[in-house]
Amino acid sequence: MIDGFVALYIFMLAAFVGHEIIGRVPVILHTPLMSGSNFVHGIVLVGAMVALGRADTTLEMSIGFIGVALAAGNAVGGYVVTERMLEMFKSSKGAKK
């Protein structure tokens, strides 16, 4: 079980990691990085799946269905656009002259 102070510790450490990772990113990568972090919170998909999996009533199932579809859109869309952007970054050694 994750509760109380264990949860707080995880929260604190994860926040620190997030801050550290971005702090050193060059401006040229800000847009892909925002898109990449946008993809990472697509992990909400697993939560939405669990919520839908546990849903009993029609109302819960409808909301759960919407949630899973939205989350899948977040994860897949976030991945596709980030990958497309990063794929284009080349240094002049690799680029055609």
Partner 1 sequence: MTDFISVRGLIEASYFLAAILFIFGLKRMSSPVTARTGIVWAGAGMVVATLITFLYPGMSNYGLMTVAIALGGILAWVSGKKVAMTDMPQMIALYNGMGGGAAAAIAAVELFGGQDHGLTFGILAVLGGLIGAISFSGSLIAFAKLQGLMKSTVRFPGQQVFNLVLLVVTLGFAGVIAFQHAGVGTVTIFFALALILGVTMTLPIGGADMPVVISLYNALTGLAVAFEGFVLQNAAMIIAGTVVGAAGTLLTQLMAKAMNRSLGNVLFSGFGDTGVAAVTNDAGGSMKPIEASDVGVMMAFANKVLIVPGYGMAVAQAQHKVWELTQLLIDRGVDVKFAIHPVAGRMPGHMNVLLAEAGVPYDIIYDETEINAEFATADVALVIGANDVVNPVARTDPSSPIYGMPILNADKAKNVIVIKRGQGAGFSGIENALFFLDQTRMLYGDGQAMASELIAAVKSL
Residues in 72-91 that interact with partner 1 by CB under 8 A = 72-91
Both tokens assigned to 78? 């976030």
At position 92, the amino acid (one-letter code) is S
Site string for partner 1, 48-67 (x = CB under 8 A): xxxxxxxxxx-xxx-xxxxx
Cα distance from N-terminal residue to C-terminal residue, the chain: 58
Q: Kindly state the smallest distance separating residue 9's Cβ from partner 1, in Å.
A: 11
Size of site (CB under 8 A) for partner 1: 88
Q: Least separation, in Å, of the C-beta of 8 and partner 1?
A: 10
Name every residue whose Cβ is closer than 8 Å to that of residue 80 and which is 6 or more positions away in sequence. Answer: none
Task: Check binding of 9 to partner 1 (CB under 8 A).
Answer: no
